[in-house]
Structure 1
Amino acid sequence: MTDNDRTTPPRPSLRRIAGALLEIVQSRIELIGIELTEEKERLMGVAFLGLAAMLFGVLALVSLTALVIVVFWDTYRLQAMTGIFIVYLLLAAWCAIRARNILRDAPMPFEATLAEFEKDRDALRPD
């Protein structure tokens, strides 16, 4: 035997490499599935609560608007309607700004999966 043969580590078989790669891919796909399920459940819950809140909020606003207009019908009808309009406009602007900020600051979907792919890529790169 030569010195070159003793210093070279044995080569892993192609079958073992392929098996390891398949296991890595399978675990990453499972992670994507888990994250997708979690994200779907979270979004469904938030969407349902958001729609219910909007429905009850609209009902409350319609009732309040009717009450204010009826109370001020004889004296300050236009001022009452203008005041209600301004309040609704300010609330709509606040909600739009808040929604934009939430979407802008939301975490990246599949963050854990992407981090694992990054680790895999770094591990497979030759040094």
Structure 2
Amino acid sequence: MEHSEHTEPRAPGLIGSVSGLVKTTLRLVLSRLELALAELSDVRDHLVKLAVLFALSILAALFAIGFGTATLVVLLWDALGWKILLILAVVFAVVAYLLVQAVMGRIRSGSLALPATMAELKADRDMLL
């Protein structure tokens, strides 16, 4: 029997089709995994920068609040007495509430939600179903 170089390719059949489907599915999963990892890396970098900026801003704010409060108490003690401490406590409570609401608004905005990955996964789901 001679083996010629010009043989016709055989039809893949069921095994070939399943094999092709598995390969395509694996490529799709790997592609989506690479996209998710790239976005997670970006999110991690943003979180580190956000944490450092947040820590520095908290430190600066604490110094400003401390010195400002001490100055107000000294300046207004003769006129208001202990009431200045109550006024400042209420002011700080309101400011803290507003800051917490601002942080929650940023979290709800979805900036950490991996939008490109989620869009691709939704498109894949829609295509398959």
TM value normalised by structure 1: 0.77
Aligned residue in 2 for 1:38: 42
Aligned length: 116
Task: Please list, as runs of the form range in 1=range in 2, the aligned pairs for 1:24-63 lying within 5 A after superposition.
Answer: 24-63=28-67
Return 92-101 or 75-84, whichever deviates more: 75-84
Q: Does 1:70 align with 2:69?
A: no
Deviation at 1:25, TM superposition (A): 1.0
Contact 2:73 2:84 (8 Å CA) reproduced = yes
Q: Taking structure 1 as reference, are residues 57 and 108 closer, same or farther at Cα in structure 2, changes over 3 Å only?
A: closer
Q: Structure 1: 5+ residue runs without aligned partners?
A: 1-9
Amino acid at match of 1:36: L
**Equivalence map 1:1-127=2 (5 Å):** 13-107=17-111, 109-125=113-129
TM-score normalised over the length of structure 2: 0.76
Q: CA deviation at 1:108?
A: 6.2
Q: CA RMSD in A?
A: 2.1
The 3-state SS of whatever aligns with 1:106 is coil
State the shift of 1:63 in Å. Answer: 0.7
